[in-house]
Structure 1
Amino acid sequence: MVGAVGIVFGDIGTSPIYAFRETFAGHHTLVPDALHIYGVLSLIFWSMLIIVALKYVTIIMRADNKGEGGSLALLALINRTVAEGEKKKWTMGIVMLGVFATALFYGDSMITPAISVLSAVEGLTTVQAGFAPYVRPTAIAILVGLFAIQARGTAKVGALFGPIMLIYFVTIAVLGGMHIVRHPAVFLEMFNPLNAVQFYLSEPLRAFIAMGSVVLAVTGAEALYADMGHFGRRPIKYSWLYFVMPALLLNYMGQGAMLLSQDPVDALATVKNPFFFLAPEMLRLPLVILATLATIIASQAVISGAFSVTQQAIQLGFIPRLRITHTSEHAAGQIYIPVINWALLVMVILLVIMFGSSSNLAAAYGIAVTGAMAIDTVLISVVLFTLWKWPSWKAIPLLAIFFTIDLLYFSANLLKVPAGGWFPLLIGAIAFTFLTTWAKGRKLMIERMAEATLPIEVFIKSAATSAARVPGTAVFMTTSMTGVPHALLHNLKHNKVLHERVMLLTVRIEDVPFVRGERRIETKDYGAGFFRIILRYGFMEEIDVPSALAQVKACGPQFKMMDTSFFLARQTLIASARPGMAIWREKLFAWMLRNAESAMEFFKLPTNRVVELGSQVEI
C-alpha cells in the first residue's frame, strides 16, 4: 500500500494544487460564494466516487489481463476473447479505440509533468511575489534534471517515493482540516448531491463550463488501472478508499472552507492560489518544497508509464522496434527508452515555454484524459457483455451513468480546444497516425512477402539433397510460421551452401503479459537437418533469443553460440500504387522501418554471429 501511494497516486494526488484554483480563477471565473463553492465541492466528491472509486477501482480493475492493466492490456484481453467468440466484427473498431486511447496517453504524458511541476513552483509567488520571474526557469531546470536521471533507473529514488507521498497526503489533509474547523458546514455540504444540482439549475452554462476544470480533480484515475500490474488490485483499492481519497477530500473541503470564512475581497485574492494559502505564512515555503517533490514523483510515474506503454505497443506490433534498456536487475518493469525520454523532455519544455503558466496549461489538460476515460468505458462495456456476461438490467444502468458523466466532462473540455486543448488532440492524432501506419504497413509487408513464399517441404526435397552442407547451425529469423524465409533463399542463391542444421525461428508475441513454462518453446522436425522453432513471449516481457535457444533440447545437440550464425532479412520498401495504403503512408512506414532498432539488438543476438541479407519489397 505504501508503494502504491508513492507511485500510483502522484498524478491525482497533486491535483489539489491547481484543480480548485482553475475552477474559480481559471479562464472562466466563478465568484467564490457559497452557491459555487458548495456546488463545485459536490461535483468533485461525486466525480471521485463514481469515476475513481466505482468505475476504475471497483469495476475496471477487475478486468485485468493476467494481472496487468492499462488500455493496451485491456485491448489485448478483449481482442483475444472477442476474436474467439461470435462478435468478431467488433474487433477492428475495438482495436482502433484502444490504439487511440494509447495515442491520447502520449499527449497526457507531456502535459502532466509540465503542469504539475509548474503549478508547484508557482507556489513560490505566495511566499514572495518577487520570485515570479524565476518560476519558469526553475520549473525547466527541475524537469531537465528529472528526465536526465531516467537512464540511471528509478529503483533507488523510488524507495523514497512512498514516504514522501505519505508525508504529502498527511500534510494536505491536516491543512484542510485546520480550515474545516473554522467553517464546519462545508463537511456535510460536500457530500450533498443537491448542491451540484442547485448549481446546475441556477447557472447551467457556468456549471457546464466549470466541469472542464472540475475534471482536473480526477486526472490520474486511469493510472490506478495502468499500474495495477506493479502492485495488485487490493493495495491500490485499500490505499485509495482509506487514505488517499479522504486526504484529498479534506484538502478540497479545506480550500472551500478557507474561502467561505473570508470576506469577498480577500477570497478573490486567495482563490488565485488557495492550495498554498492553506498553510500559515511561516510554513508556506516548506509546503512549496513538499509539493514540488510530490509533482516530481507524479511526473516520474507518467514518464515510467510512457516507457511501459511504448514497450507494450512495440510487442503488440503498433510501434517499430526501439532501444529498450533495463535499469534494474530485479524489477522487470523498470525500463528506459532513450527516444521516448528525450522526445518527452523536448515537448515538455516547449509546453512550459509556450503556455507560460499552469493556468494556461490547464486549458490544454483534461481533454486527453476525458477522451481516454470515455474509451475505457466503451472497452469495459464490451467486457461486461462479452467476457463477464452481465445481464442487461445490471449493466445498462451502470454504463448509462458512466457514459453520461464521460460525455459531460468530454464535451465541457471541448470548449478548451481553442485555448490549448488542441495540443493533446494534435499529439494524439499524430501518435495515432504513426501507430496505425506501422501496424497496417507491417501487415501488408508480411502479406506481400508471403505471396512468393515457397513451401518448406518442397524446398527441403529440392535443395537439401543438391546443395552442399557446411558444419554448424544457421538460424533464420522469420515472421511467418509457414514457408521458406527470404533470407534462406537468398543465402542459398548467393552462397550455394546450407548448414548442417537449419533453424527457422519465429518470435510470437501473445495477448497475455507473460508466457510461462512449456508454452514458451515449440519445435518441429522436418527432417534432413531442418527444424522450426517458435518462441512465445508476453507483451510485457523482454525478448532474449540466445537465452531461449539454450533451453531448446528437441533439435539435436545443444546450441553453441560460436557454432551458430543468425541470418536476418533487411527489407527495403518501395512505395507503389498497389491497393493497401496511401503513398504518403507507405513512405512514412518506410521511414519508420529504416529508423527502427536493428533486430540484432532487439532480440539480443551476438553481434559477431549475425548476417544480414537485403531484399526489396513493394507494398
Structure 2
Amino acid sequence: MPVEEDHDVVVVDVEKIENSNEETEQQEEASDGMEKKQLSSKILRRNDSLEMKSQRFSATHAAKVRAILVFDTSTSFQSIGIVYGDIGTSPLYVYSSTFTDGIKNNDDILGVLSLILYTITLIPLIKYVLVVLKANDNGDGGTFALYSLICRYAKVGLIPNQQVEDADVSNYQLQLPNNRQKRASKLKSALEKSHFMKLFLLFATMLGTSMVIGDGVLTPCISVLSAVGGIKQAATNINNGKFLFMYVVVLISVAILVCLFMAQRFGTDKVGYTFAPIICIWFAFIAAIGLYNFIKYDPSIIKAVNPKYIVDYFIRNKKDAWISLGGVVLAITGTEALFADVGHFTVRSVQISMCSVTYPALILAYVGQASFLRKHNDLVSDTFYKSIPGIAVVFVMTLTSAFLVLIMIMIWKTHILLIISYVLIIGSVEVVYLSSVLYKFDQGGYLPLAFAAVLMFIMYVWNNVYRRKYYYELDHKISAEKVKEIACNTSLCRLPGLAMFYSELVQGVPPIFKHYVANVPALHSLLIFVSIKSLPISKVPTEERFLFRHVHPKELNVFRCVVRYGYTDVRNEEEPFEKLLVERLKQFIVDEFWKSQNGDDQEEEEKVQEEIEKEIESVEKASQDGVVHLIGENEIVACKGANIGKRILIDYAYNFLKKNLRQSEKLFDIPHKRMVKVGMTYEL
C-alpha cells in the first residue's frame, strides 16, 4: 500500500558527482602534465578566453544556441498551421454576431472594439501565453495536464494504485519552491481528506475534456461556412442567386471539411507544414486589409484603447450590451488550443508565434473592420454567421482558470496578492462572458454541451465500473503466502518456458490467478505477473517504464512487474513489448544482486557474478523454450440484488463499451498463437 507520509524530495545529481570523482582520480593517476591540465580544465569548467578549449566550448555553445533558435523558429512556423485556425478566422463573424440588430450608435463600435482589444490581450496573450503555458506537464498541455499536476502533488486519485516508486520516475517530480506556505499545506490536506473534492476534480476534468471535443465538432464547421459565405456577393449577381448560394456554400463547405479531416491522418508534423503557409498568408492579408481600412476610413478609431468606451457602451445599451458579449467572445474562439496543442510543439514556439504573428494580425484586422464600420453602419450583417455562442470554449477557459488557481496556491506558491489579482481580473472577465453565452443557450449553445454530455456519460460509466472492478480485485487479491503455497505445490507441473500473466492490479496478485491454477494445474518455470498502470504524467521514459520485484523465495522464479505509462504514451512501440520486458528483467536481476552484495571481497564478487550469470541463463532459457501470454478475460456483472440503475450501468452500458474497446493483445502486439485467455466472472 502507498505510504501516506509526505517527504521533501532532495534531488542530488549523482551522475555529476560520480563523474567528478572519476575525473579527479584519473587526474591524480595520470603522468602526463598536459593530460592533467586538460582534466583540470574539465573539472573547473572555466570559460577562459586565452585557452583554446574555451574557444571550442564557446563555439559549441553558440552552435547549440543557434540550433535552439532554428528549432524554435521551425516549430513556431508549424504551430501557426495547427493552433490558430479557429482564432484566426474569428474576424469573419465577430462583428456580425455582436451587432445582431444592427448598429444603433456609432460610438457602440468603439465600445465593442475596446472590448475585443482587451479580451484578446487579457485571455489569449496574458492568461494563456504568459501564465497558463507555464503549467504544462513536461511539455504537454490541456485539462488533463493540469489535473495530472494536482494528482502528483496531492493524493486526489480515486484508484488506490499509488506506489512510493512512482516518485522515482524522472518526469514525475515537480519543481517546487523552497518557501512552503501554510495555505498550500492546508489546501493540499483539504483535497486529500475530502472524497467529494476528489470526485469533483475528476468530474471537472472529464467535463472540460468533453467540452473541448464537443466544441471541436462545431467550430470547424462555423469557420468554414463563414469563410465560404464570401461567395454570397458573387451569387447574388446571378439569376436565382439565393438558391445557388444555399447549395454552393453547403457543398463547398462539406468538401473543404472532408479534405481537412482526411489530411489529419498524416500527422501533426505534415499538417503543420502544409497549412502553416496558408494561415500565414491569411494573417498577412487580414493584417494588410485592416491597416488599409484603418488609414482610409477612420484613424480616430485608435481611441478605443481607452476602456472608458466600454463603460459608455454598457451604460448606453444595458442588457443588450451584456447579451452582445456572446458575439465578442467569438474573438477568442480556439484560445484553449494554445494550451491543449502545446504538446505537439514547445512552449517557446507557441509564445513566439502568438506574439509575433497572430496577436498583431488580429488586432489590425479588428481595428480595420471597426474603422470601416464607422463609415458603413449598414454593412455590419454582411459577414455571414450570426449567433451560436461556440459556450463550451468559455466554460473550458473558466475551468482552466480554476485549476490554475489551485496550482498557484499548492505548487507554485504564488504570492496571495498575485492570485487575488488573477481571479479579480481574468476570472471576472471569463465569468461575465460565460453568463452572456449561457443566456443564448437555446439559440445553439446547447449543441456543444449535448456532445459533451454524451462523452461525459461514456467517461463516467467507464471510470465508475473500472474503479469498482479494481476495488474488487484489491479486496480479493492473493496474498504472498498463498502465491508461495501455490508455487511450492508438488501436485502442480512446472512446464519449461516463460509465462506472463497480465492484470491491472498493482498491489498483489489478482484473484484470477487462483482461478487459473484451479483449472489448469501447471505452471511455467518462470512466471511474471505484469500489471499495467497509468501514471498522472504525460510520458514515462522507456528506461523507467518497468518496475520489478521478486516474489520470495527466489527459487520459485516468480516476479511481479509494474509497467508504467503516461497518458500520451503510445503502447504499441516499435520494439516488441515481450523482448523489452525480458531485457529489463535481466537488468533488474543484475542490479538486485549487486545491491545485496556487501564489501569489496574479490572472492565474494566472483560468487555474485556466478549467481547473476546462472539467474540470467535461466531467464534466457525460459524465454527460448517459449513465451506464453496469459490474459484475464473478466466478465463484469452486477451482483444479485443490485438496483436497476446499477444493472444498467454495469450489465449494459459498461459491457457495451467493453465490446467496442481495443483489446490488450492489440495494444501490446501479442501474437495470437502464444496467447491464452483466462475467463472469470466478477460480481460487483
Contact 1:543 1:604 (C-alpha < 8 Å) held by counterparts: no
1:429 and 1:184 mapped to 2: Cα distance? Answer: 46
- 2:474 equivalent to 1:371: no
CA deviation after TM superposition for structure 1 residue 447, in Å = 1.3
Q: Which of 535, 538, 541 is the aligned partner of 2:566?
A: 538
Q: Which residue is 2:96 aligned to? A: 21
SS in 1 for 2:99: helix
Query: CA 1:122 to 1:32, structure 2 compared with 1: closer, same or farther past 3 Å?
Result: farther
Q: Which of 557, 577, 580 is the aligned partner of 1:548?
A: 580
- 2:297 equivalent to 1:183: yes
Deviation larger for 201-210 or 82-91? 82-91
1:387 and 1:379 mapped to 2: Cα distance? Answer: 11
SS in 2 for 1:366: coil
2:429 and 2:269 mapped to 1: Cα distance? Answer: 38
2:549 and 2:509 mapped to 1: Cα distance? Answer: 14
Query: CA 1:72 to 1:160, structure 2 compared with 1: closer, same or farther past 3 Å?
Result: same
Q: Which runs of 5+ in 1 are unaligned?
A: 275-356
Q: Which residue is 1:399 aligned to? A: 423
1:287-325 alpha-carbon deviations (Å, 9 max, x no partner): xxxxxxxxxxxxxxxxxxxxxxxxxxxxxxxxxxxxxxx
1:295-444 correspondence to structure 2 within 5 Å: 358-359=385-386, 362-363=387-388, 365-444=389-468
CA deviation after TM superposition for structure 1 residue 580, in Å = 12
Query: CA 1:58 to 1:157, structure 2 compared with 1: closer, same or farther past 3 Å?
Result: closer
CA deviation after TM superposition for structure 1 residue 234, in Å = 1.8
1:48-197 correspondence to structure 2 within 5 Å: 48-83=120-155, 85-87=188-190, 88=192, 89=194, 90-129=197-236, 130=241, 131-132=244-245, 133-153=247-267, 155-197=269-311
1:433-458 alpha-carbon deviations (Å, 9 max, x no partner): 21122111101011123332221332
Query: CA 1:516 to 1:605, structure 2 compared with 1: closer, same or farther past 3 Å?
Result: same
2:649 and 2:294 mapped to 1: Cα distance? Answer: 58
1:197-596 correspondence to structure 2 within 5 Å: 197-262=311-376, 267-268=377-378, 270-274=379-383, 358-359=385-386, 362-363=387-388, 365-466=389-490, 467-516=492-541, 518-526=543-551, 527=554, 528-544=556-572, 545-546=577-578, 548-552=580-584, 553=586, 554=588, 556=616, 557-558=619-620, 560=623, 563-576=626-639, 577-578=641-642, 582-586=646-650, 587-596=652-661
Instruction: Specify the code of the residue in structure 1 equivalent to 2:108.
Output: H
- 2:662 equivalent to 1:597: yes
2:95 and 2:368 mapped to 1: Cα distance? Answer: 11
Query: CA 1:358 to 1:605, structure 2 compared with 1: closer, same or farther past 3 Å?
Result: farther
Q: Which runs of 5+ in 2 are unaligned?
A: 1-75, 157-187, 590-615
Instruction: Specify the code of the residue in structure 2 equivalent to 1:39.
Output: G
SS in 2 for 1:221: coil
Which structure has the larger Rg?
2
1:390 and 1:383 mapped to 2: Cα distance? Answer: 9
Q: Which residue is 1:310 aligned to? A: none
1:152 and 1:3 mapped to 2: Cα distance? Answer: 14
Contact 2:533 2:565 (C-alpha < 8 Å) held by counterparts: yes
SS in 1 for 2:112: helix
| TM-score normalized with structure 2 length | 0.73
Contact 2:114 2:304 (C-alpha < 8 Å) held by counterparts: yes
Instruction: Specify the code of the residue in structure 2 equivalent to 1:570.
Output: E
Q: Which residue is 2:84 aligned to? A: 9
CA deviation after TM superposition for structure 1 residue 523, in Å = 1.0
CA deviation after TM superposition for structure 1 residue 603, in Å = 2.3
Contact 1:79 1:94 (C-alpha < 8 Å) held by counterparts: no
Deviation larger for 441-450 or 518-527? 518-527
1:367 and 1:402 mapped to 2: Cα distance? Answer: 17
Contact 2:373 2:380 (C-alpha < 8 Å) held by counterparts: yes
1:479-511 alpha-carbon deviations (Å, 9 max, x no partner): 112333344333322221111111100122111
Contact 1:182 1:261 (C-alpha < 8 Å) held by counterparts: no
CA deviation after TM superposition for structure 1 residue 579, in Å = 8.5
Instruction: Specify the code of the residue in structure 1 equivalent to 2:416.
Output: S
Query: CA 1:53 to 1:152, structure 2 compared with 1: closer, same or farther past 3 Å?
Result: closer
CA deviation after TM superposition for structure 1 residue 121, in Å = 1.3
2:509 and 2:638 mapped to 1: Cα distance? Answer: 24
1:172 and 1:187 mapped to 2: Cα distance? Answer: 17
1:463-483 alpha-carbon deviations (Å, 9 max, x no partner): 433210111111000111233
Contact 1:32 1:271 (C-alpha < 8 Å) held by counterparts: no
Deviation larger for 205-214 or 527-536? 527-536
| TM-score normalized with structure 1 length | 0.81
Deviation larger for 220-229 or 390-399? 390-399
Q: Looking at both structures, which has the greater relative contact order when contacts are Cα pairs under 8 Å and sequence separation is at least 6?
A: 1
CA deviation after TM superposition for structure 1 residue 411, in Å = 0.8
